Amino acid sequence: MLLQIKNLHAGINGKEILRGVNLEVNKGEVHAIMGPNGTGKSTLASVIAGREVFDVTAGEILYKGKNLEALSIEDRAREGIFLGFQYPVEIPGVSITNFLRTAVNEIRKFKGLDPLPGGDFLRLMEEKKRLVEITSNLTNRSVNEGFSGGEKKKNEIFQMAMLEPMLAILDETDSGLDIDALRIVANGVNKLRRPDNAFVVITHYQRLLDYIVPDFVHVLFEGKIVKSGGKELAIELEEKGYDWIKKEQEA
């Protein structure tokens, strides 16, 4: 099992957001997490990534069988956890090339590998750029600076392709995308699917799941996964909205 979340409680500034999340993800699987706004989807993603502003108050996250609690943000990343940001951060003055070369080589160092030679690195960049249909020389620009919404999201998938994570969590990668960008992002993800990795796709709408077909769909509501099913659950949610889930919970 790649990821096992047991009874996870977490919050920020004393306010509890996750109230007992349970989730199991195996290699080769794609999970979708859906749910209304403000139910803790992004918090769950951040907590798995190790973001320090959130406090885990109970429960645990096991990744490859190991408790993540003591691992820093960067060590989780180096172990293969990737978070695609809902709002990718602009970093003026740091070129994408420099940024990714640093990331790739720090991950290699962690694994006891030598830095990737410059030529090999540039070839890798070109190959992965094609995967997400980046044609401009985006890579000479500062990370996300002045990018359109679509470019930012494509850049997230490009980075994921470069870093080849074991577990990729995509936090509302579809938000703000037009249909062409959505297709490119989804294609990128589909090409990166392998039997030994897994994806957790957080989304508000079913639309993305037409392109990235999930094995499991979970509904996160008020800090808990209240319903799980196959891809048909997403279609049901699309048709009925979230109100019936709310009513079920209240009942």
Q: Does 118 bind another protein (CB under 8 A)?
A: no
Give the residue, chosen from 54, 85, 147, 216, that forms a contact with another protein under the rule CB under 8 A.
85
Site pattern 90..109 for another protein (x: CB under 8 A): -xxxx---xxx-xxx-xx--
β-bridge pairing 55-63 and 142-143: unpaired
Q: Does 163 bind another protein (CB under 8 A)?
A: yes
The contacts of residue 172 (CB under 8 Å, 6+ apart) are: 41, 42, 86, 202, 203, 204
- Pick the piece of the chain touching another protein (CB under 8 A) from 79-87, 131-139, 188-196, 231-239: 79-87
Least distance from C-beta 139 to another protein, angstroms? 15
The two structure tokens encoding residue 178: 């037009």
* Residues 9-68 interacting with another protein (rule: CB under 8 A): 49, 51-53
**Binding footprint of another protein, residue count (CB under 8 A):** 30
Least distance from C-beta 113 to another protein, angstroms? 13
Least distance from C-beta 244 to another protein, angstroms? 35
Site pattern 135..154 for another protein (x: CB under 8 A): -------x------------
Q: Does 70 bind another protein (CB under 8 A)?
A: no
* Residues 171-230 interacting with another protein (rule: CB under 8 A): none
The two structure tokens encoding residue 172: 């509302």
The contacts of residue 15 (CB under 8 Å, 6+ apart) are: none
**CB-nearer residue toward another protein: 51 or 193:** 51
Give the residue, chosen from 40, 88, 188, 223, that forms a contact with another protein under the rule CB under 8 A.
88
Give the residue, chosen from 72, 137, 148, 190, that forms a contact with another protein under the rule CB under 8 A.
72
The contacts of residue 103 (CB under 8 Å, 6+ apart) are: 159, 162, 163
Q: Does 78 bind another protein (CB under 8 A)?
A: yes
Note the residues at the interface with another protein (CB under 8 A).
Answer: 49, 51-53, 72-74, 77-78, 82-83, 85, 88-89, 91-94, 98-100, 102-104, 106-107, 110, 142, 159, 163
